[in-house]
Amino acid sequence: MSIDEAKRLAGIAACNEVEDGMTLGLGTGSTVHHTIVELARQHHEEGLDVVGVPTSLATHALATELGLPLAELDDVDALDVVIDGADEVDAAFQLIKGGGAALLREKLVAQSSGAMVVVADDRKMVDVLGAFPLPIEITPFALGTTRSAIANLLGCEATLRMDGDRPLVTDNGNHIIDAHTGPTLIDPAAVETALLSLAGVVQVGLFIDMCDVVYLAGASGAARLVRPGGRLA
């Protein structure tokens, strides 16, 4: 089975966590794309009654194109579950996210959700976080100063993410620093706290104690991994 087919199956399988009448966080990424497509199919063909809250402008555009009912986060009382992707997942179900530059909105939605389901391929499962450069959203003001502070704090190269020949601009009008720590983040909660103490840092792409279930795509299909003691255990 190709990895693309496995990702499609994992994205579809994650829809098993959805029940009629739910309000859902809709994540961003190539695997969760398949989840959104399947949810829209079930909505139109099977009458699935759900409302989605998108985590990015790209997800908003996709869901709108597919005719999936949407709402703003401020307009709903709570989210039942968010289904999203991840760039890395460790054995404790801690995540690195932000490869798609949507980490601030993704974290806002995740914190507002009753549970978090991640869809990813098995290349994203790691022993220690950090091989994937850690995305950090920062303010445009004094971005050079903030970049240097991040590099000094983490003791690693910290690069400004570019979009062609210009700094990438997030959906929130901010920029992204990618911290090249390598697989060294054995205490990701402490790293998150330290980074958030820097005034120019808006949010960090570490999702601590948020993920409850991972649908992991591999050569043999999609496996459902459940965090012990999690909200969906």
Burial call 77-91: b when 16+ CB within 10 Å, e when fewer:
eebbbbbbbbbbbbe
* Amino acid 221: pLDDT: 80
User: Quick one: average pLDDT of 25-40?
Assistant: 95
217 and 7 Cβ atoms separated by less than 8 Å: yes
> What share of the chain in percent tops pLDDT 90?
92
* Amino acid 6: pLDDT: 85
* Amino acid 4: pLDDT: 86
Distance CA 77, CA 44 (A): 25
Tens digits of per-residue pLDDT, 63-82?
A: 999 999 999 999 999 999 99
* Amino acid 225: pLDDT: 96
Average per-residue pLDDT for the chain: 96
Say yes or no to pLDDT of 191 above 90: yes
Categorize the per-residue pLDDT at 199 as very low, low, confident or very high, splitting at 50, 70 and 90: very high
Categorize the per-residue pLDDT at 220 as very low, low, confident or very high, splitting at 50, 70 and 90: confident
Categorize the per-residue pLDDT at 166 as very low, low, confident or very high, splitting at 50, 70 and 90: very high
Categorize the per-residue pLDDT at 3 as very low, low, confident or very high, splitting at 50, 70 and 90: confident
User: Quick one: average pLDDT of 26-44?
Assistant: 95
* Catalytic residue status for 106: yes
12 and 38 Cβ atoms separated by less than 8 Å: yes
Q: What is the DSSP string of the chain?
A: --HHHHHHHHHHHGGGG--TT-EEEE--STTHHHHHHHHHHHHHHH----EEEESSHHHHHHHHHHT--B--GGGSS-BSEEEE--SEE-TT--EE--TTS-HHHHHHHHHTBS-EEEEEEGGGB-SSBTSSPEEEEE-STTHHHHHHHHHHHHTSEEEE-EETTEE---TTS-EEEEEE--S-BS-HHHHHHHHHTSTTEEEESEE-S---EEEEEETTEEEEEE-TTSTT-
User: Quick one: average pLDDT of 92-108?
Assistant: 97
pTM, to two decimals: 0.95
* Amino acid 202: pLDDT: 98
* Amino acid 132: pLDDT: 98
The catalytically annotated residue of 38, 88, 106, 137 is 106
In this structure, what are the phi and psi dihedrals at residue 156, rounded to the nearest 5 degrees?
-145, 170
Say yes or no to pLDDT of 200 above 80: yes
Categorize the per-residue pLDDT at 147 as very low, low, confident or very high, splitting at 50, 70 and 90: very high
Say yes or no to pLDDT of 143 above 80: yes
* Amino acid 222: pLDDT: 87
